[in-house]
Amino acid sequence: MTVKLFVLGLPGSGKSSVARYITAYLENKNWKSTRFSDHVILQEMFLADTEHKQFRPADHGGFDALDLDVIDIALQRLEQKVNQHLLPAKQEEIVLVEFARNDYQGAFQQFSHEFLQDAHFLYLNVNTETCKRRIIERIANPSSEDDFFVSEYIFNTYYNKGNEQSVPQILEKDYGIDKQRVKVIENNGSLDDIVAEINEFVDTIHGL
């Protein structure tokens, strides 16, 4: 059985670190995993926008979205990429899908109903100032290709307009997804502080 696990949260909330940890954790249990991130898609769109009509370059090799419609388009393309990956018959696998949004109710509407129905969801709840600090730290000392820059402009114009409704409430109310398939973890500390919660959730998903 192939399972989709969405890893959600603000930029700097630790999504990629957690996804890499889950990948290693599953590998130790002989489970295959594949990661997808909307940042890769947005970066491709930025590089293709040579006239900077929808994006503009930002510091540290980053970019800002000027036309926020691209944010929705990226999620639609993300579903296409995941479905293309899943189209051939797969062995047992977990597909990790990472993205950050200011409004998850609107974000989930960019996906087909079927794409969400069989998925699990891990939301990393982190305060904004901690996210900003982590981004500064990872740019100063990058350790992986996931250590990309997110500008103050994006935080101020996009991520300061969050939806007050929680991810578990949205998924249960709008899609009938059981709260047992949705895990919210407070991640304002270190990864070591939350590995037990992550392990428990992943074990529950797969019955490992």
Say how many C-beta atoms besides its own lie within 10 A of residue 195's C-beta: 14
Q: Which whole-number Å values give the CA distances from 204 to 9, 135, 145, 152, in the listed order?
A: 21, 31, 29, 37
47 φ/ψ sector (left φ>0, alpha ψ -120 to 50, else beta): alpha
Q: What pLDDT is recorded for position 27?
A: 93
For range 10-16, the mean pLDDT: 95
Q: What pLDDT is recorded for position 92?
A: 80
Q: What pLDDT is recorded for position 159?
A: 85
Q: What pLDDT is recorded for position 145?
A: 85
Q: What pLDDT is recorded for position 125?
A: 94
197 touches 27 (CB < 8 A): no
**Largest Cα span, the chain:** 50
Tell me the per-residue pLDDT of 141-199, one tens digit each, with 9 for 90 and over.
Answer: 888 888 899 998 898 888 876 555 689 999 999 999 999 999 999 999 999 999 999 99
The rounded Cα 2 to chain-centroid distance in angstroms is 18
Domain ranges, ordered by start, for the chain: 2-206
Residue 10 has pLDDT above 60, yes or no: yes
2-206 carries CATH number 3.40.50.300? yes
Tell me the per-residue pLDDT of 24-71, one tens digit each, with 9 for 90 and over.
Answer: 999 998 889 999 999 999 999 999 999 999 999 999 999 999 998 999
Nearest alpha carbon to residue 93 among 33, 181, 36, 35:
33
Tell me the per-residue pLDDT of 67-103, one tens digit each, with 9 for 90 and over.
Answer: 989 999 999 999 999 999 998 866 788 999 999 998 9
For range 117-121, the mean pLDDT: 94
For range 109-128, the mean pLDDT: 95
- Where are any strands of DSSP class E within 129-188? 182-186
